[in-house]
Amino acid sequence: MMILRRTLLAVAAALPFAPVLAASKRSFSYTLTEAQWRKKLTPAAYDVLREEDTERPFTSPLNKEKRPGTFTCAGCDLPLFSSKTKFESGTGWPSFYAPLKDSIGTTTDTKFFMARTEVHCARCGGHLGHVFNDGPRPTGLRYCMNGLALNFIPAKA
């Protein structure tokens, strides 16, 4: 009985780390070593993209970005979102109602004792943010992204 109890406690303790363990086993077409990622990214961008951190709300200059263009992954430059789908959510992070085709993947994030849908780059696996079911039409989705995980490429005039 004691062994069963210990096993159950160990499994319960590991559950919050399951998405991290699962993410580390996925393969992506764009890969770098940890040292290469650290050289390529700023420390804050590394923490968000590679360690699944979250930037402080209302700190990203991309919140105020209103020009036509494309938001790309800061890790691998994959186009992720059109500026046409960006909207002001009031949450403090750049928000979009739809990603570009085949640009993102999702996993279940069970950190903080709740289930959320984590969004990652389909090419490099970088953590981008989360998606919620409280967005505007036409999708009803809110892709709440970390500005540090994105770059903006203005449309050519």
Task: Look at the pTM and tell me if it is higher than 0.85.
Answer: no
CATH number at residue 72: 2.170.150.20
Give me the active site residues, please. Answer: 144
Tell me the residue range of the domain where 130 lies.
2-154
Q: Which ranges constitute the DSSP H helices of the chain?
A: 2-14, 18-25, 34-40, 43-51
The closest alpha carbon to 145, from 107, 101, 102, 104, belongs to 104
Give the sign of the dihedral formed by CA 62, CA 31, CA 47, CA 111.
positive
First and final CA of the chain: distance in angstroms?
Answer: 71
- Under 8 Å between Cβ of 122 and 78: yes
Check whether 9 has a pLDDT greater than 80. Answer: no
What is the rounded average pLDDT of the residues 33-54? 97
Could you give the number of structural domains in the chain? 1
| Cα 6 from Cα 127, distance rounded (Å) | 33
Predicted local confidence at residue 31, as pLDDT = 95
Region 46-69: mean pLDDT is 97
pLDDT of the residue at 23: 47
Alpha-carbon gap, residue 149 to 48, rounded angstroms: 7
How many Å apart are CA 19 and CA 106, to the nearest integer?
Answer: 10
Residue 97 — pLDDT band, cuts 50, 70, 90? very high
